[in-house]
């Protein structure tokens, strides 16, 4: 049974994470009907592997049956951890970081885009990283994956430029999340990017006022 939603629907991956915890309430405050999916989501229907095409398509079918449409996709799923040099890293470690940071964006976007193209409208917002613009030693798979996200953002934006859809990426340096603070306790947290500022930029990119912005890289570095 299709219930549908009269409000704009925002599908946000990684909704329960450090960044998602800030992004979800900002979108709700802006009037969006927010659908959050996350590996730790209490609703089994919203707890699926965003790197698994079959699981994503099944989850998307359920969302569309319930809401009727998706106006905005915000790809927040990602992870960083210490990485061995390229000469030493295992296939397992490389693939794990590449999948969560790049494949998640590819699989989700590929699933949602046909629906947006059919409707002739939509917004996709991805999260890059400073290391994706300039490769950093000891960050091989993370840097390569985030560089791929930026290239994929530009490719998709070019492919749908006449379809009423925009695709953009925000590029933070270090986001001020509890996880990052725990991992880097001696850092200058004031130099990092507050999550609510990233959220505000994302809400703007999802708005009609940003309809002319597509294929762009929005750098949000603060002092980090």
The dihedral sign for the CA sequence 49, 53, 55, 61 = positive
Going from the C-alpha of 43 to that of each of 39, 46, 47, 107, the distances in angstroms are: 10, 5, 6, 21
32 catalytic? Reply is: no
Q: What are the two backbone dihedrals, phi and then psi, of residue 125, each rounded to the nearest 5 degrees? A: -125, 120
| 43 pLDDT more than 90 | no
Of 28, 9, 12, 18, nearest in space to 180 by CA: 18
| 221 pLDDT more than 50 | yes
Report pLDDT digits (tens) over 170-192: 999 999 999 889 989 999 999 99
- Mean pLDDT for the stretch of residues 66-76: 97
Report pLDDT digits (tens) over 88-100: 999 999 999 999 9
Task: Give the model's pLDDT for residue 6.
Answer: 79
- Mean pLDDT for the stretch of residues 4-22: 90
Residue extents of the structural domains in the chain:
9-220
- Mean pLDDT for the stretch of residues 130-149: 95
Q: Which of 142, 147, 177, 206 is catalytic?
A: 142
Task: Give the model's pLDDT for residue 211.
Answer: 97
CA triple 3-202-157, angle to 5 deg: 85
- Tell me the average pLDDT of the chain: 94
Question: Given pLDDT bands bounded at 50, 70 and 90, which one contains residue 1?
Answer: very low
Task: Provide the token pair at 6.
Answer: 């009269």
3-state DSSP assignment of residue 218:
strand
- Mean pLDDT for the stretch of residues 101-119: 98
Task: Give the model's pLDDT for residue 4.
Answer: 60
- Mean pLDDT for the stretch of residues 42-64: 90
Task: Give the model's pLDDT for residue 2.
Answer: 47
| 129 pLDDT more than 50 | yes
| 158 pLDDT more than 90 | yes
Candidates 3.20.20.105, 3.40.50.300, 3.40.50.720, 3.40.50.150; CATH matching 9-220: 3.40.50.720
Question: Given pLDDT bands bounded at 50, 70 and 90, which one contains residue 5?
Answer: low
């Amino acid at each position: 049974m299709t219930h549908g939603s009269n409000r704009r629907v925002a599908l946000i991956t990684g909704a329960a994470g450090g960044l998602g915890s800030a992004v979800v309430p900002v979108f709700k405050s802006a009037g969006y009907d927010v659908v959050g999916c996350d590996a730790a989501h209490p609703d089994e229907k919203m707890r699926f592997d965003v790197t698994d095409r079959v699981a994503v398509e099944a989850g998307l079918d359920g969302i569309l049956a319930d809401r009727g449409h998706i106006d905005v996709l915000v790809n927040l799923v990602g992870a960083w951890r210490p990485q061995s040099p390229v000469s030493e890293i295992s296939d397992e470690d490389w693939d794990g970081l590449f999948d969560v940071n790049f494949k998640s964006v590819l699989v989700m976007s590929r699933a949602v885009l046909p629906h947006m193209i059919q409707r002739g409208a939509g917004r996709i917002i991805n999260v890059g990283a400073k290391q994706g613009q300039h490769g950093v030693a000891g960050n091989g798979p993370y840097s390569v994956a985030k560089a791929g996200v930026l290239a994929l953002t530009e490719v998709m934006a070019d492919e749908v430029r006449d379809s009423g859809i925009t695709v953009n990426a925000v590029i933070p340096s270090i986001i001020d999340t509890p996880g990052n603070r725990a991992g880097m306790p001696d850092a200058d947290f004031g130099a990092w990017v507050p999550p609510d500022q990233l959220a505000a930029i994302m809400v703007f990119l999802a708005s009609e006022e940003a309809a002319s912005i597509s294929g762009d890289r929005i750098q949000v570095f603060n002092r980090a």
